[in-house]
Amino acid sequence: MLEPQENTPLEAKDLGLSFGSHVVLKDFNLAVPKGRVSVVIGPNACGKSTLLRSLARLEKPSAGTVLLDGKSIHKQPTRGVAKRLGILPQMPVAPEGITVGDLVSRGRTPHQSVWRQWSRQDEVAIQNAMDMTKITELRDKAFSSLSGGQRQRVWIAMALAQETDLLLLDEPTTFLDLAHQIELLELLKRCNEEQQMTIVAVLHDINLAARYAHHLVVMKNGQIEAQGSADKVITQDIMKSTFGLECYVMPDPVKGTPLVVPA
């Protein structure tokens, strides 16, 4: 039996995944640190989204396994997994005609059963999620009438309403302007600090990733190029070898984290 790493609720072990003859992940190993914010970065088409979907059981690996709390995620009941792990995929699709409030409420589905119907606890979770993402005033609006940034905040509210200890987000800052990107990342930071939530996010912005991640994972061609704290993995050499980017790396004047400046 595969033994889980210490202090990791989620782990990829010798993971392999292919689409036809195209190999996306091969012999991939990653232990997600418990109670930390992990951010995955890398060039386009390097396997970041596939990794996240594999960790969330949305893609079935051709080799290896994903362990949730030390047990194969594919052998665990769907409802049980949904109570432990939430995911916001890259391009979610909403049912036609649904309102914001109804969509956010779907985050409570894993908590419903024949014996447990809608409760005050569900309503509180939904309201808290909407307050945190600042969409309360949109509750009765049609989701289809919203802007891209508003829609993204609704999806995040649905994920937060699920109230899981683990949250995976694939490019959550998509469609958000810079101010709202910072607002969202500060929200995730609060969820981590106040609720000890373990968060894994895919981000494109290297500087924001360096600022908010406790643990950075740099991917290239379906493999890990480097991982660890930002000051260890955001270097000129790694930026060049991974992204083909000539740059300078200097301290962020606000946070002191590495700041990448293209040369």
Query: 225 phi and psi, to 5 degrees?
Result: -80, -40
User: Per DSSP, what are the bridge partners of residue 262?
Assistant: 247
Say whether pLDDT at 4 is over 50.
Answer: no
Once rounded to an integer, what is the mean pLDDT over residues 74-91?
90
- Percent of the chain at pLDDT exceeding 90: 76
Give the per-residue pLDDT at 188. Answer: 92
Once rounded to an integer, what is the mean pLDDT over residues 48-60?
93
pTM: 0.89
Radius of gyration of the chain (CA): 19
Write out pLDDT tens, residues 170-180.
999 988 889 98
Say whether pLDDT at 118 is over 90.
Answer: no
Domains and CATH numbers, the chain: 10-262 (3.40.50.300)
Residues contacting residue 127 through CB under 8 Å, at least 6 positions apart: 136
Band the pLDDT of 2: cuts 50, 70, 90.
very low
Write out pLDDT tens, residues 220-249.
999 999 999 999 999 999 999 999 999 999
DSSP state of 110: G
